[in-house]
Structure 1
Amino acid sequence: MTKSQTNLAWDVLLDLSGPGPRHERLTRALRTVIREGTLGSGAALPPSRTLAADLGFSRWVITQAYEQLIAEGYLAARTGSATVVRWSTSSTGPAKALPRKATPPEIDLAPGLPDLRHFPRQRWAEAVREVLANAPHGEFGYPVPGGHPRLRAVLADHLRRCRGAVVEDVRISSGVTDGFGRVCRALRAAGITRIAAEEPGWLTLRRVATRAGLEVVGVPVDEDGLRVDEIPAGARAVLVTPAHQFPTGTVLSPARRAGLLSWARDVDGVIVEDDYDAEFRYDRRPVGTVQGMDPARVVLLGSVSKTLSPALGLGWYALPPQWTELVDPSPTPPALEQLAFAAFLEHGSYDRHLRAARRRYRARRDALVCALGPLPVSGIAAGLHLVLDLPGVRAAEVVRRAAVKGLRVADLDDYRATPRTPGIVLGYGNLADGSVGTAARLLIEAIGEASRG
């Protein structure tokens, strides 16, 4: 493991006051900051010439202090290497207790993460190196409002080509939550005060809308997606996840898509389309966006959080022309991250990553469904999660018993405003392939215990 080079002791304030010669005062000051923990074990001290120049002392004063502390065991020195702190507070502390028996490693089946083990490190690093080597000096300034023009152009082409979107311009955000918050504030400023949202749905986005001053009303979802006919009067905006509804996993049917667009025209409203899990469809090619059917009525939101990693903090939103001036384009993610993603897209690395991820997720989904046996699952046509129905069993109890076994799952009611038929949501995006069988076994055991208890 590479040792950190940030623990250099060059700028530590030393109290050199008090009686005695200079080398004794320096020895005393260094001993104090070591014993207090200001300089931890392994911290590198400056070369004697450097510290002598900084303090205005002779080099002899520094070497005498270092040699004294080496003799006392506070410092260690090797020829050709820096003098480092050897002593730590644990050196004089009580004997350490024997470690407790290790608990089983947690298997995380909660939804929301892609396969972090397969993040394309090498290709992403190549994109970053390319940007650092070739970007003009001006690119290291403040990010451009709305996002870097290079990424916006490349991303717009990707959305037209792969998602069937109709976009002349796309703006960059730090993720779907960020983009949705900007849209909600613009809706409120335009006089729209009520937004409909799928029930069940991602509660984080509901909270974002509420904080923006919007009233959120739930609309039920069935096997064909959002019940458009139940959007309440007074709502002029609706939040949907048509490609793979979260959390039920349903795909908005063609008839519902047409009905949703008709509703938006009738009420002079706007559809906010969260392109959630859109890239991962297993029974056919991914379904195109609703935005592509009527770009004048649909805001399109997306991010790399479920395709690459949420750690990148990169998302986007495409607006109808009449909303462009109403949505604040700032702030945006760091310019270098944007340029790296642009290069990643330009070289085809993103497309290759998605194709490989799609194959991997499909195989993992199949293995999980097989391991669960006869248990009733749904929402498996797309995405990175599925729903397991639990008729007659308390889902909260299953979640609790699974946690005791080191298995994390999510209660379907956690995404509902009103509890209904019990079920749990199983995310397999970040599930290790070698853990599929173990996860299914532990879950089946938890369900059995909950049904008997």
Structure 2
Amino acid sequence: MANAWVNSAERIGSDLHLELELSRPGPGSRRAALCDALREAVRSGRLAPGTPLPPYRSLAADLGVARNTVADAYAELVAEGWLTARQGSGTRVAERTEALRPGHARVPTRAGKTPPRARGPRHDLRQGTPDASTFPRAPWLASYRRALQQAPNEVFGPGDPAGRVELREALAAYLARARGVRTEPGRIVICSGFAHALRLLFLGSPERVLRGPLAVEAYGLPFHRALLADAGVRTVPLPIDEHGADVGRLARERAVLLTPAHQFPTGGPLHAERRAAVVDWARARDAVVLEDDYDGEFRYDRKPVGAVQGLDPERVIYIGSVSKSLSPAVRLGWMVLPERYVDGVLAAKGEREAWASVLDQLALADFLSSGAYDRHVRRMRQRYRGRRDRLVAALAAHAPHIEVTGIAAGLHAVLRLPPGTERSAVKAAVWQGIALDGLAEFRHPDASVEDTAVRDGLVVGYATPAEHAYGTALEALCTALPPGAAPGTGAPVFG
């Protein structure tokens, strides 16, 4: 069987004016053997940069193997950067492999200097951060100056653990108007962000405000799960479908953590029936809902849906921050608490404010009250909507088989990939100088791939790149995506 495989390969080699020596006979190794042979042909110069390779159907027929064997080999070499594949133009030897040919010396690096690739990616498409160049410096400076000029002397003493009343009053008014939150300043506690809020709720001493088990969505930030695990809090994953988290699976948990406005990272909102159902569950179980409203202001296809907290302020802890809307450098967030939790959170925080700068709190209060925050959010909503539209248009033009999941909202999108291609797509992105994450990075360790409607995907943050660099980043992203399927076959198109 091995000899027939080698002879067949030699016939294909003659068609390409080269011989492919396949040195790994045996079951399950034909793809690896073909990969090795093609790499060696490129390294030796027998396959020059830009050389077209045969369509995978032709090669599979000549070799007498399944088409997927050749398709997988091509896909692996595309991911590694040996080959390039464009729909409509076939599979070719990558141009950059010229540097690997004999007689081409590698570019030496100066002593003490790192190669350019080691200094970081050329294109940062990771989720979670806004465009740093858009921080509203002049309006923020104006608010800071007014706050500093008007600040009473007590501001420069020990802080109130609840946070400055000026900010809590401004937040109560803004959240009621913009997010449908029902509260008053006395139920708002200022923190430095969502992670700080989790610490106060689950790690506080001497008594924890909340205890596990905590139900969480099957996909979320690993950092938050690690923080909870370090506190000894067991998390139970809830499956996710096109209607958001399946809250009907809630059982004996004491609390549930949700991202109802825009599920992170898959992108769907929590369906209206499930929003009501999770509040009913909390009432029946004397439990609580933690609502992470991390980017609730950024909805592009319609007016943002109000917070779940508005359905029952005594059963929902609403948590927000300015890390997405303004900047993660402004370490300010807030918890809107049911009355029974306020004293516990303040006890966990301590008598003196040790996290959020009082002067920053006053500046944010002015920024909200003056209308500057609303203007900034409107401007960024238009900017990020344009970024998302450009991403969708680029995919439609260059990778129409790749679907953007979820609603038009937020600072990132998930690209649904063909089954089994996520890992190779991430590798291909790295080769193109792109920093991004695969969807699997956010999956709860106890969740199965069946717990979500999207199983293979890329999480693409479109907010971070500077405007002048975004187009180039999209071109690189499209190059890294796996090829599409031939019409009616469901098989990858490589040539």
Place the TM-score, normalised by the shorter chain, in its bin. Answer: 0.7 to 0.9
One-letter amino acid matched to 1:152: R
Where does structure 1 lack aligned partners over 5 or more consecutive residues? 1-95
Q: Is the 8 A contact 1:173 1:317 kept in 2?
A: yes
Q: Which residue of 2 aligns with 1:447?
A: 481
SS of the residue aligned with 1:312? coil
Secondary structure of 1:309's match? coil
**Structure 1 residue 419 displacement after superposition:** 5.9
Sort the Cα spacing of 1:202 and 1:97 in 2 relative to 1 into closer, same or farther, 3 A.
Answer: closer
Q: Distance in 2 between matches of 1:422 and 1:101?
A: 32
Q: Which runs of 5+ in 2 are unaligned?
A: 1-109, 450-454, 485-491
Shift of 1:236: 1.6
Q: How far is 1:99 from its partner? A: 7.3
Alignment of 1:154-193 (within 5 A): 154-169=170-185, 170-185=188-203, 189=208, 192-193=211-212
Corresponding residue number in structure 2 for 1:352: 375
Are 1:364 and 2:378 counterparts?
A: no
2:417–2:457 contact (8 Å) kept in structure 1: yes
In the alignment, the residues of structure 1 paired with residue 478 and residue 268 of structure 2 have an alpha-carbon distance, to the nearest angstrom, of: 24
SS in 2 for 1:287: coil
Q: CA deviation at 1:393?
A: 4.0
- Which residue in the other structure is 1:263 paired with? 281
Describe the superposition over 1:160-214 as per-residue Cα deviations: whole angstroms up to 9, x where unpaired: 1111001113110000110122122369736733100001112222222222322
The answer as to whether partners of 2:421 and 2:482 remain within 8 angstroms in 1 is: no
Letter in 2 for 1:394: T
1:109 aligns with 2:125: yes
> What are the Cα deviations for residues 14-58 of structure 1, in whole angstroms up to 9, with x where unaligned?
xxxxxxxxxxxxxxxxxxxxxxxxxxxxxxxxxxxxxxxxxxxxx
Counterpart CA distance in 2 for 1:143 and 1:290 is 31
Alignment match of 1:207 (pick from 226, 231, 243): 226
Q: 1:358 to 1:184 in 2, by over 3 A?
A: same
Secondary structure of 1:239's aligned partner = strand
What is the CA–CA distance in structure 1 between the aligned matches of 2:344 and 2:159, rounded to whole Å? 20
Aligned to 2:150: 134
Q: Distance in 2 between matches of 1:256 and 1:449?
A: 37
After superposition, the Cα gap between the structure-2 partners of 1:178 and 1:102, relative to the gap in structure 1 and judged at 3 Å, is: closer
8 Å CA contact retained: 1:367, 1:436 = no
Partners in 2 of 1:393 and 1:422 — Cα distance? 7
- The answer to whether the Cα contact below 8 Å between 2:209 and 2:341 also exists between their aligned partners in 1 is no
| Alignment pair present for 1:196 and 2:228 | no
Q: Which residue of 2 aligns with 1:12?
A: none
1:399 to partner: Cα distance: 1.4
Q: Distance in 2 between matches of 1:218 and 1:105?
A: 33
Cα deviation, residue 97, structure 1: 5.9
- In the alignment, is the contact (CA less than 8 A) between 2:202 and 2:210 conserved in 1? no
Which aligned pairs between 1:29-40 and structure 2 lie closer than 5 A?
none
In 1: Cα distance, 2:272 partner to 2:114 partner: 57
Q: How many Å apart are 1:285 and its aligned residue?
A: 0.6
Task: Give matches, 1:239-250, under 5 Å.
Answer: 239-250=257-268
Residue of structure 2 aligned with 1:392, choices 400, 414, 419:
419
Q: Report Cα offsets for 1:51-80 as digits up to 9, x if no partner.
A: xxxxxxxxxxxxxxxxxxxxxxxxxxxxxx
- Structure 1 residues 419 and 226: CA distance shift in structure 2, 3 A: closer
Superposition map of 1:16-35 within 5 A: none
Deviates more, 1:303-312 or 1:206-215: 206-215
Q: Is 1:436 paired with 2:436?
A: no
Question: Within 1, Cα distance between the matches of 2:115 and 2:228?
Answer: 46
What is the distance in 1 between the residues matched to 2:157 and 2:209?
33
Letter in 2 for 1:409: L
Which residue is equivalent to 1:338?
Answer: 361
Shift, 1:329, TM fit: 3.6
Q: Where has structure 1 moved over 4 Å in runs of 4 or more?
A: 96-105, 449-452
Q: Whole-Å Cα distance in 1 between the matches of residues 277 and 204 of structure 2? A: 25
SS of the equivalent of 2:239 reads strand
Q: Deviations over 1:328-372 (max 9, x none)?
A: 244341111111111111111101000111111111110111011
- Larger mean CA deviation between 103-112 and 409-418 belongs to 103-112
**Shift of the alpha carbon at 1:106?**
1.5
TM-score normalised according to structure 1 size: 0.74
| Cα separation, 2, equivalents of 1:224 and 1:307 | 25
What is the TM-score normalised by the length of structure 2? 0.68
Q: Is the 8 A contact 2:394 2:478 kept in 1?
A: no
The match for 1:225 is 244
The amino acid that maps onto 1:298 is V
Residue from 277, 289, 294 that aligns with 2:312: 294
Counterpart of 1:427 in structure 2 is: 461
Alignment of 1:88-99 (within 5 A): none
Letter in 2 for 1:161: R
Q: How big is each residue's C-alpha offset from its partner over 1:288-311, in whole Å with a ceiling of 9 and x where there is no partner?
A: 100011000000000000000001
- Paired residues, number: 356
Q: Which has the larger radius of gyration?
A: 1
Name the residue aligned to 2:53: none
CA distance in 2, matches of 1:138, 1:254: 46
In the other structure, the counterpart of 1:84 is none
CA contact (8 A) 1:398 1:446 kept: yes
Check the 8 A contact 1:172/1:332 in 2, yes or no. Answer: no
Among the aligned pairs, what percent are the same residue?
43
SS at the partner of 1:247?
Answer: coil
Equivalent residues of 1:265, 1:297 under 8 A apart: yes
More moved, 299-308 vs 167-176: 167-176
Distance 2:415 2:483 in 1: 16
Name which of 434, 459, 463 aligns with 1:407.
Answer: 434
Q: 1:412-431: per-residue Cα shift (whole Å, max 9, x none)?
A: 00000246321110011213
Distance 2:230 2:121 in 1: 37
Asked if 1:146 corresponds to 2:170, the answer is no
How many angstroms does 1:439 deviate by?
2.1
CA contact (8 A) 1:108 1:408 kept: yes
Query: Distance between the aligned counterparts of 2:131 and 2:172, measured in 1?
Result: 25
Give the distance between the partners of 1:129 and 1:97, measured in 2 at CA: 47
Compared CA separation, residues 191 and 311, structure 1 to 2 (3 A) = closer
